[in-house]
Chain A
C-alpha cells in the first residue's frame, strides 16, 4: 500500500538527488566511459556569475525574510481581534498569496515601469523624479525583494494570527493587572508563545527564498548585469540556456545542501527557544 507513494518519492525526489550528485562529479563524457572528479565544482566556484548569484541570494533571503516576517507580525498584532473590519483588512493583506508569482510579476512590471508606470505616475504628483526601478543595478534586487515581500507577508500573517489565537487571554489579563505595559506583555508573553510559529515559518521562508524565482525569470532574467541573478535562476540558465549539465548539477547540489543546512539550523535554534505548555 505504501508502494505507489514510495515509487513516486523515489523516482522524483531521491533518484534525482543521486542523479544530480553523480552528474556534478562527472567531468568528461566519452563513448562508454565517464571520468569522475571535482572539476565541475572548481569551474563553479571560479565562475563570477555563480559567486554573484550566491551573494545576491543571501541578500535576497535576508531582505525578504526579515521585512516580510516583521510586517506579517505587525499586521497580525493589529488585526488579531476578529471584527468585520479586521476580516476585510486581513483578506486584502492575504490576497497576494492566492495569485501566481508570474501574475504578481506582470502587475509589478507595470507598477515599476519608468515614466508612465503606477509608482512613477504617483511619485511625479509629489514632484519626485522618475526612477528606473528594474533597470538600475543598485535598485533592481531591491525591487524584486519588494515584490516578494508583498507576495508573502500575508501568508506569514495567517500563521501569526493562528499563533496569537493560541495565547491564553487570561495570561495577558493577569499581566495587565500586575501593571505590565503593552511592550512588556508582548516581549515577555506573546513573543515567547509565538516560538512554535517562528520555528516553522522561518524554515518555510528560507525555502521560499531559495526556490521561488518566477519573477526573476519573467521580469529581469537575472539582469541588469547579474544584479538580480539568484541561485535557482543561475541553475535554470545553465540547464536551459547554456546546456552545461556539470555546472547546473553542481550548483543544484550546493543549493540543496545550503537549504537543508539552513532549515535544520534555524529549526533547531528556534525550537530551543520554544515555550512548551505542559
Chain B
C-alpha cells in the first residue's frame, strides 16, 4: 500500500506555522499586560489586561513625529518613483535607439547594487548636495527604481499599441499619451509597484539611520531602535512589545486585509 504523506505533512506544517507565529503571539499578549509582571514571557497569562503599555509607549516615544516622517519618506519616494519608472518604462517598452539594451542592463544591475551596500559613498554624495540630515536625503537614493522600471516596461508591453496610435492621430504628445492613456491602463502594475515600494521603505533601517542625525528627522524604524533599547534597559518588555506593535502593526493589518494583492505583488517583485 502506498503511504499518503499529505496529512502528516499538513500536521507538521501546522505545527511549524504555529511556532512561526509565537513571536507575534507574544507581542500581542505582552503589549496588553500593564506593569512589569514576573511571568512576562507567558503566552497564556491569567491577566489583568489593558492598553496601558500603548499609552506609555505613545507618550515616551515620539510616535506621531516618527509616523509623520515615515509617511513623508514613503509617500515622497513613491510619488517621484511613479513618474521616473513610468517614463523610463515607456522608453524601454516602446522606443528603439542604439545602446538601449546596454542601458537597460545598467538599470537591472541596480537590483543588486542596493543603497545599504553603498552607504559610504552615498553619504558623501548627500553631504556634498547639502542633503545630509534631511528627509529628502533619505529618499534621494531611491528615486530611480530598477524594479519599477522593469515592471512598467513589462506592463506597457502588454498593452496593445492601438490605443497609442489612436491618441497620436488625435495629436497627443508623448507625455500626454503616457499620462492619459498608458498610465490608466497600467494601474494594476503601478499598484503592485506601490505595495512593494512602500513595504520596503517603511521597513528600512540602516540607510535612514546613517542619513540623518537629528531626532526630529527620525523615521519609525530608527525611532523604535532607540526607544526599544531604552525600554529594554528598564526591563519594560510590555512597552517594548507595544512600541514594536505600533511600528509593525500598520503593514501587518494591511497585509491581512489585502493579502492576495500583497502576495501577488511581492511574488512579482522577485521575478526580475
> Which of chain B's residues have a CB closer than 8 A to the CB of A210?
117
Pick from B155-163, B181-189, B245-253 the stretch touching chain A. Answer: B245-253
Q: Does A232 contact B (CB under 8 A)?
A: yes
User: Residue A94 contacts which of B114, B123, B263 (CB distance < 8 angstroms)?
Assistant: B263
The CA-CA distance from A121 to B125 in the complex, in Å, is 48
Q: DSSP class of B's interface residues: helix, strand, loop or mixed? A: helix
Per a CB cutoff under 8 Å, which of A2, A5, A16, A248 touches B125?
A16
Q: Which residues of B contact A182 (CB under 8 A)?
A: 3, 5
Confirm or deny: B71 has a beta carbon within 8 angstroms of a beta carbon on chain A.
Answer: no
Stretch at the interface among A6-14, A40-48, A54-62, A134-142: A6-14
Does B40 reach chain A (CB closer than 8 Å)?
Answer: yes
Q: A106 to chain B: which residues have CB within 8 Å? A: 224-225, 228, 240, 243-244
Evaluate contact between A235 and B20: CB separation under 8 angstroms. Answer: no
CB pair B144 A9 closer than 8 Å = yes
Which B residues are CB-close (under 8 A) to A239? Answer: 119-120, 123, 210
Q: Is B60 an interface residue (CB 8 A)?
A: no
Interface of A is mostly: helix
Q: Does A111 contact B (CB under 8 A)?
A: yes
The verdict on A75 contacting chain B, using a C-beta distance below 8 Å, is yes
Q: B103-132 toward A: CB 8 Å interface, digit per residue (1/0)?
A: 100110110111111111111110000000
Query: Which one, A13, A85, A117, A201, contacts B41 given CB within 8 A?
Result: A117
User: Could you give 5 example pairs across A and B, Cβ below 8 Å?
Assistant: A16-B122, A78-B10, A93-B20, A95-B252, A110-B40
A74 to B9, CA, bound (A): 9
B244 engages A103 (CB within 8 Å):
yes
B270 within 8 A of A: yes
A sample of 17 more A-B contacts (CB under 8 A), given A94-B255, A102-B247, A110-B26, is A5-B85, A8-B144, A12-B143, A19-B125, A20-B120, A20-B121, A71-B16, A78-B12, A90-B17, A92-B20, A96-B23, A97-B266, A118-B43, A200-B271, A235-B119, A252-B117, A263-B112
Of the listed residues B38, B90, B271, the one surrounded by the most CB atoms of chain A closer than 10 A to its CB is: B271
* Contact status B85-A103, CB under 8 Å: no
Inter-subunit contact A122/B117 (CB<8 Å): no
Q: Are A101 and B119 in contact (CB under 8 A)?
A: no
A230 CB, nearest partner CB in chain B, Å: 12
Complex interface bits, A244-278 against B, C-beta within 8 A gives 1, otherwise 0: 01001100100110011001000000000000000
Interchain CB contact under 8 A, B229 and A218: yes
Q: How far in angstroms is the closest Cβ of chain B from A239?
A: 5
A89 touches B17 (CB 8 A): yes
State whether B266 touches A5 (Cβ < 8 A). no
Contact B23 A98 (CB under 8 A): no
In the complex, which residues 216-259 of chain A have their Cβ closer than 8 Å to any Cβ of chain B?
Answer: 217-218, 232, 235-236, 239-240, 245, 248-249, 252, 255-256, 259
Contact bitstring B56-88, A, C-beta under 8 A = 1, else 0: 000000000000000000000000000111011
